[in-house]
């Protein structure tokens, strides 16, 4: 009896109510984190390589925060486009308590006190060479020197009101160092979401346009970000970040790395997030524009795939669209 024709897996798929009742995974706006680009001035600056995404001045950022709240999106991720003249080899603008990032955090907290603010800890929006850290004479990104600066950067962000600091730099040991500094400075409830398995990827191009680092970047990031060939190494990275005190871990990029998400979730049972990165967003937009797929369906299917693989949530530039679709 346990086979066809008595067993028909199509039976539960035959009607909409039944499909809904048998869904193993749910996707809600609570699973979305919306990355936002911040700029000086008050205008809206469209980003050519990210159609539909803009940099916003502080007023626009406050409006986006209200929009997110109304859509049920729980958290915003912030990325500054630092004016060129403030970018230096040591990225010291990252430590300025009045920098664009800190002003954006405060703006959001004033406009919508109850929304989560996640900040990126890395130096690339502040360095003249576009790397995430301090480089030596050969252009090599120095681990321990960089980690020391990242600790101060995370503290500056926490002081400004960040709820989650998210180191995206891939230095060794920085999660433990940041956790210790947060504890020592009274920020016991500031979370760390570690970009634990971040790959040296070809999918970050539009992001680098958005934060203004593409034209500046010398070389590539392969001496610190991971080789796409590696999966076991991702598990080691995640194990270390959890041991150092990460509250949650991230896998990045997203869709090409669903296998990593699944393995991390199965192995560690910790909150896992994915970053559906700028190049993935641009790919979906290009497919939709070319008529190769239907935008809304592509967005919801890819986001559901992250949930099915084990993600608690996804950073996605499609967050407002997805939240609107999910509200229907
Ligand atoms: N610290 C850099 C950082 N933080 C988030 C992204 C990429 C996000 C995206 O492509 O959407 C990057 C780019 C990089 O590593 O060069
Ligand atoms: Mg690591």
* Confidence label for 1 from pLDDT (cuts 50, 70 and 90): low
Could you report the predicted ipTM of this complex, rounded to two decimals? 0.97
**How high is the pLDDT of residue 328?**
77
Mean pLDDT of 158-174: 98
Q: Which two tokens stand for residue 125?
A: 């929006």
Mean pLDDT of 79-103: 98
Average pLDDT score over the chain: 97
| Residue to mutate (ligand 1; options 204, 214, 278; most atoms within 8 A of CB) | 204
Ligand 1 and 209: CB distance under 6 A: no
Mean pLDDT of 154-179: 98
**How high is the pLDDT of residue 289?**
97
Where exactly are the structural domains of the chain?
25-327
**How high is the pLDDT of residue 15?**
98
Mean pLDDT of 77-85: 97
Ligand closest to CA 253 = 1
**Which positions are catalytic?**
198, 252
Label residue 212 left, alpha or beta by phi (over 0 means left) and psi (-120 to 50 means alpha).
left
Buried b (16+ CB within 10 A) or exposed e, 147-158: bbbbbebbbbbb
Q: Are 232 and 260 in contact (CB under 8 A)?
A: no
Q: Which fold has domain 25-327?
A: TIM Barrel (3.20.20)
């Amino acid at each position: 009896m346990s086979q066809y024709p008595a067993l028909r897996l199509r039976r539960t798929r035959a009607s909409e109510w039944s499909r809904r009742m048998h869904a193993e995974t749910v996707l809600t706006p609570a699973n979305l984190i919306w990355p936002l680009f911040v700029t000086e001035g008050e205008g809206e600056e469209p980003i050519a390589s990210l159609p539909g995404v803009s940099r916003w001045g502080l007023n626009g950022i406050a409006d986006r925060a209200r929009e997110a709240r109304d859509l049920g999106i729980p958290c915003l991720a912030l990325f500054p486009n630092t004016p060129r003249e403030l970018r230096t080899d040591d990225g010291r603008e990252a430590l300025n308590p009045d920098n664009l990032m800190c002003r954006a955090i405060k703006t959001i907290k004033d406009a919508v006190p109850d929304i989560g603010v996640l900040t990126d800890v890395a130096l690339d929006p502040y360095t003249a060479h576009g790397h995430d850290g301090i480089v030596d004479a050969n252009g090599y990104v120095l681990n321990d020197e960089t980690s020391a600066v990242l600790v101060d950067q995370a503290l500056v962000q926490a002081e400004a009101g960040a709820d989650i600091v998210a180191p995206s730099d891939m230095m060794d040991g920085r999660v433990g160092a940041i956790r210790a500094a947060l504890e020592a400075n009274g920020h016991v409830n500031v979370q760390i979401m570690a970009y634990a398995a971040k790959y040296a990827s070809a999918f970050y191009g539009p992001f680098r346009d958005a934060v203004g680092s593409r034209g500046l970047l010398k070389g590539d990031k392969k001496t610190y970000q991971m080789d796409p060939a590696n999966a076991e190494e991702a598990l080691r990275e995640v194990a270390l970040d959890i041991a150092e005190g990460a509250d949650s871990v991230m896998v990045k990029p997203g869709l090409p790395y669903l296998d990593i998400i699944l393995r991390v979730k199965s192995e560690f049972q910790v909150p896992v997030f994915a970053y559906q990165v700028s190049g993935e967003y641009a790919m979906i937009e290009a497919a939709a524009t070319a008529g190769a797929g239907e935008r809304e369906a592509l967005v919801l299917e890819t986001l559901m795939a992250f949930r099915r693989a084990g993600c608690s949530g996804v950073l996605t530039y499609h967050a407002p669209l997805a939240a609107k679709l999910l509200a229907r």
